């Protein structure tokens, strides 16, 4: 997961130097994401969203016409940056109204990582520590409420939410905070989904109504092999459908600018997300 020691250890095993070089040059997202099949024309803008704690800067991208199901994206510890803008745009090209937020708006406007995903974990850990289960919940409610006010969002359709790395727990808390709106949720190499803490995200599953996709990094699974079983049991007990799979890729493999990006496995995870959305947000 995203602590300095394990992160550096994982880089030795999973790092792809060519990708790291592109990311450091700021070119990773634009050069590596495949073109969306049958992509629709989109429009995008930077937006500011009022929350109980201030004003969040975010990226909003939607199909150029019509109203569509909304998707809220929670970035990884490196925050809102070109790679996540590109990912949001790609999802919008598949027919969704997409909001990608800066989770660290209380402290700093995006970009919050000087070198994108090539930034040292130590340089951004302090930002991650400013967040809590309480901020996750208040932000989730504010962002979903904002989406529901937009003309490009069809409020007759459920909302989807996705999260990467530290965004995984936030996805769980989003699904629990607004269960009547969130119909689909996906986490990719999400950290800390199961713990012994009384506020462990998995304990919120009985409060949810969403269908889940949980894509687990193989090195995260190696460090905590029982977590996936706890999740499977918890979703089964709540009678919620969940696709939980360990991918043969390292923590952080999905965003195209990371040094451990695995294009083949990232595309598989993306395709499973689109299948989930097609089934639940139509």
The domains located in the chain, with CATH, are: 4-14+39-281 (3.40.50.1820)
Distant-in-sequence contacts of 42-50, Cβ < 8 A, 24+ apart: 42/89, 42/92, 42/93, 44/85, 44/88, 44/89, 44/92, 47/99, 49/101, 49/142, 49/143, 49/146, 50/142
Q: What tens digit of pLDDT does each residue of 118-151 get?
A: 999 999 999 999 999 999 999 999 999 999 999 9
227 vs 216: CA distance, rounded Å? 10
89 vs 147: CA distance, rounded Å? 16
Residue of 91, 83, 89, 90 lying closest to 117 (CA atoms): 83
CA 91 to chain CA centroid, nearest Å = 12
Peptide bond into 123 cis (omega under 30): no
Look at residue 185 in the predicted model and tell me its pLDDT.
Answer: 98
Q: Please, what is the end-to-end C-alpha distance for the chain in angstroms?
A: 33
How large a percentage of the chain has pLDDT more than 70? Answer: 90
Q: What tens digit of pLDDT does each residue of 202-239 get?
A: 999 999 999 999 999 999 999 999 999 999 999 999 99
Contact 176, 208 (CB under 8 A): yes
Classify the C-alpha dihedral 138-140-145-146 as positive or negative: positive
Contact 170, 103 (CB under 8 A): yes
Ramachandran category for residue 252: left, alpha or beta (phi over 0 → left; psi -120 to 50 → alpha):
left
* Average pLDDT in the chain: 92
């Amino acid at each position: 997961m995203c602590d300095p020691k394990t992160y550096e250890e994982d880089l030795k095993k999973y790092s792809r130097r060519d990708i790291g070089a592109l990311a450091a040059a700021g070119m990773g997202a634009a050069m590596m994401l495949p073109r969306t099949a049958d992509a629709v024309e989109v429009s995008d803008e930077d937006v500011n969203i009022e929350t109980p704690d201030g004003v969040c800067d975010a990226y909003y991208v939607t199909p150029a016409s019509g109203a569509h199901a909304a998707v809220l994206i929670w970035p990884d510890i490196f925050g809102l940056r070109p790679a996540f803008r590109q990912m949001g745009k790609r999802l919008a090209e598949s027919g969704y109204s997409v909001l990608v937020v800066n989770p660290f708006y209380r402290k700093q406007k995006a970009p919050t990582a000087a070198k994108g995903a090539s930034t040292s974990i130590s340089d951004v850990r302090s930002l991650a520590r400013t967040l809590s289960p309480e901020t996750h919940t208040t932000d989730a409610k504010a962002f979903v409420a904002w989406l529901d006010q937009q003309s490009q969002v069809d409020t007759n359709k459920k909302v989807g939410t996705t999260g990467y790395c530290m965004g995984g727990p936030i996805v769980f808390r989003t699904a629990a905070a607004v269960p009547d709106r969130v119909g689909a949720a996906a986490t990719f190499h999400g950290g800390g989904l199961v713990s012994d803490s009384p506020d462990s995200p998995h304990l919120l599953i009985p409060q949810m109504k969403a269908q889940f996709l949980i894509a687990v990094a193989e090195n995260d699974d190696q460090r905590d092999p029982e977590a996936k079983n706890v999740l499977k049991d918890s979703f089964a007990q709540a009678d919620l459908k969940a696709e939980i799979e360990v991918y043969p890729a390292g923590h952080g493999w999905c965003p195209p600018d990371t040094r451990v990006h695995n294009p083949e496995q990232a595309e598989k995870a993306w395709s499973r997300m689109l299948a989930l959305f097609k089934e639940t947000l139509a």
